[in-house]
Structure 1
Amino acid sequence: MLTKKKPVITEEAVVSVQPVRGYMPPSIISNKLHVRLVGLGILLNVWVLALGHILNPLKAAKAVRDLRALSVAYLGRNPEKLVKVDGRYHYVMGGPSWPSLSFNRYILSELNRFQEFRAPKPSLRSVYFAITKKCPLNCEHCFEWDNLNKKEALALADLKQILWKFQEQGVMQVHLSGGEPLVRFQDMLELLHSAQKGTDFWVITSGYHLTLEKAQQLKDAGLVGIAISLDHHEPDKHDAFRGLEGSYDWVIKAARSARHAGLVLTLNLCATKDYASDENLFAYAKLAHELGASFIQILEPRAVGHYAGKAVALEPSHIKRIEDFADMLNYDAAFKNWPIVTYHGTHQRNVGCFGAGNRFLYVDTDGDMHACPFCQKKSGNALHDDLPQCIQEMRLKGCHAFDSAGF
């Protein structure tokens, strides 16, 4: 029987966070002039890239307009808050930060979609890379449930080879997941140290044994941010969802460690139908604010893995409630210093799914590639097969299982 535990975090404790080894915790920028100036800097950067690669100025202008229209359609409206760390700005969880080489690569790949100036290549914004089958949890919603805690199929050398192949194709972000990726902590450090420049790295975790020392090592190895799964603001209910007493405490300690080490902190919420109430969502946001999170990323449950055959999909009323919640936290002045909410389900309902090799894909613990974590239909193996060909075939097939899947 799981026993209820009280939160062990206070506003005072978070406010007193001090930099560690020269790292400053990320800060949320909500000053309108500051946000506007950053926006102008980004736009100037886009124009310089467009004019430097699309020789016809009229075509360059059209490509920039098309890219801005896509951005507005995806986000709904221009951001009014940003996250700043290490001199770089993040405006949406899952997008490359600015200024950076990964941002420039992303913009060039997008501009090339509208006005082709080079031979198209299967460059990806993001790859979700499951690096281990091991996990100590028994999560209610686990999409990798059938593959957990079996013998590892990928050695460290295999992980490096797969990463190198994607970096050769110009991938801009890699999200390391599992299973629980922190189980392979030393291998993950080796993987980060071996990576080429120009790719941003994130870890998706339950917070498993993430100490301050480990968070510092990850930061030193080049990690940008960490997304920690928190599926209820009440400790006992989170533990029940995760199937392990004490897993809530992992989140609290890991969140503190991440911020102290200067990592961008995201809290991931799988918003079930039971949880998607105003009371729960705002209680979650309050805790995220107290923990110093930069982002709240809301994912929709899907009937795969542990949820296979279950009616878990959100109904329109739940979706509307989450959209209103996200809109309030992102644009209401009363929440100007609270975390930015990223709700990919809404974004992709606006512009279509970005998975299936369109802008991201999923690599499982065997190295097999899938349209996304929820649409698990093998499209080649990242270790053994020709990567560009596999990505192109995946794009042609698309993602038919979850046309509006948000991830």
Structure 2
Amino acid sequence: MDTVSISLDSIHPEKHDDFRGVKGAWEKAVNAIKALKAQGILVQVNTTVTRDNYEEIERIFEFVEKLGVENFHLFFLVPTGRGVKIEDITPEMYEEMIRHTLKILPRYGLNVKFSCAPQFMRIMQQTHSQMRHIQSNMRGCIAAFYYCRVCPTGDVTPCPYLPIKLGNTREKPFSEIWFNSKVLNDIRNPDKLKGKCGKCHYRYICGGCRARAYGLTAKFIDFCGGLHEPAELKGDYMAEEPWCTYKPEGSHSR
């Protein structure tokens, strides 16, 4: 075991416990980080950005770095599963959070990654920012390109937050699903994007969050434990990214 991922959503125990729904979760998470570092194991901390912790993200950076954490993932809420009922930050707050994080990164030794916020690639280009782990061929979202979800049942979906069932590995080879799925091939083709995403010249490096587009064009709350249950198509996964403030030339959206 080389790396362990642990969620930590606040430097305040009560706020983290409330968000995770388990009393004492913060203390257990911090103790686990300390125990892992004592054994020389790499740790990745995941923080979901919400209205409750928006103002303390930099303090979380400082806190986990002092604990010896190497990797930090900022997760931006997607309206799926339990996330449907959580009050999200505004699109403008998303944009500001990404810009501010890119600005302060040089102060820390953390390897930071933005999850479910593909517009960070656009913002990086606009601000000429650099991130240590970013490769030249990387996209804002890797779902359908380098990644998908395979459930214990064999069901395959593009990612945990995009619950469209693509097929089942117990019924056909994974390679057949991966290469022949219409949904995956649609996502791989930025020229098929709709709305302002389809007009945006950053679509090849960003592409918008397909799960967020799907979730906000569908009416669903299905649960499979803590993850969304694979289901038939209900929303438009190629719709424009609803939480992006950028207005490309020729677009009349928002």
SS of the residue corresponding to residue 265 of structure 1 reads strand
TM-score by length of 2: 0.61
SS of the residue corresponding to residue 268 of structure 1 reads strand
User: Residue 362 and residue 314 in structure 1: after superposition, are their counterparts in 2 closer, same or farther (change >3 A)?
Assistant: farther
Which residue among 89, 97, 100 is the counterpart of 1:322? 97
User: Residue 349 and residue 339 in structure 1: after superposition, are their counterparts in 2 closer, same or farther (change >3 A)?
Assistant: closer
C-alpha deviation, 1:325, in angstroms: 3.5
Which residue among 35, 39, 44 is the counterpart of 1:261? 39
Matches within 5 A, 1:132-143: none
Equivalent residue, structure 2, for 1:214: none
SS of the residue corresponding to residue 244 of structure 1 reads coil
Equivalent residue, structure 1, for 2:196: none
User: Residue 343 and residue 306 in structure 1: after superposition, are their counterparts in 2 closer, same or farther (change >3 A)?
Assistant: same
User: Residue 321 and residue 347 in structure 1: after superposition, are their counterparts in 2 closer, same or farther (change >3 A)?
Assistant: closer
Which residue among 206, 212, 216 is the counterpart of 1:402? 212
User: Residue 289 and residue 353 in structure 1: after superposition, are their counterparts in 2 closer, same or farther (change >3 A)?
Assistant: closer
TM-score by length of 1: 0.40
SS of the residue corresponding to residue 233 of structure 1 reads coil
Matches within 5 A, 1:242-281: 242-277=20-55, 280-281=56-57
| 2-structure distance, mates of 1:325, 1:352 | 17
Equivalent residue, structure 1, for 2:61: 285
CA RMSD of aligned residues (A): 2.6
Tell me, yes or no, if structure 1 residue 343 matches structure 2 residue 130. no
Tell me, yes or no, if structure 1 residue 367 matches structure 2 residue 143. no
Which residue among 176, 182, 189 is the counterpart of 1:389? 176
Tell me, yes or no, if structure 1 residue 237 matches structure 2 residue 237. no
Which residue among 34, 58, 76 is the counterpart of 1:300? 76
Contact 2:78–2:211 (CA under 8 A) maintained in structure 1: no
Aligned residues: 176
Contact 2:114–2:120 (CA under 8 A) maintained in structure 1: no
Equivalent residue, structure 2, for 1:16: none
C-alpha deviation, 1:272, in angstroms: 1.0
| 2-structure distance, mates of 1:265, 1:385 | 36
SS of the residue corresponding to residue 375 of structure 1 reads coil
Structure of greater relative contact order (alpha carbons < 8 Å, 6+ residues apart): 1
Contact 1:329–1:341 (CA under 8 A) maintained in structure 2: no
| 2-structure distance, mates of 1:379, 1:367 | 10
Of Structure 1 and Structure 2, which has the larger fraction of its residues in helix? 1
Contact 2:79–2:212 (CA under 8 A) maintained in structure 1: no
- Give the unaligned 5+ runs of structure 1: 1-222
C-alpha deviation, 1:347, in angstroms: 5.7
Equivalent residue, structure 1, for 2:164: 377
Matches within 5 A, 1:1-400: 223-277=1-55, 280-308=56-84, 310=85, 312-331=87-106, 335-336=107-108, 338-344=109-115, 345-346=117-118, 350=122, 351-356=139-144, 358-392=145-179, 393=181, 394-398=183-187, 400=210
User: Residue 361 and residue 384 in structure 1: after superposition, are their counterparts in 2 closer, same or farther (change >3 A)?
Assistant: same
Contact 2:98–2:120 (CA under 8 A) maintained in structure 1: no
Instruction: Give aligned-pair identity as a percent.
Output: 21
- Give the unaligned 5+ runs of structure 2: 123-138, 188-208, 214-240, 243-254
C-alpha deviation, 1:352, in angstroms: 4.9
| 1-structure distance, mates of 2:31, 2:52 | 26
User: Residue 352 and residue 243 in structure 1: after superposition, are their counterparts in 2 closer, same or farther (change >3 A)?
Assistant: closer
| 1-structure distance, mates of 2:42, 2:100 | 22
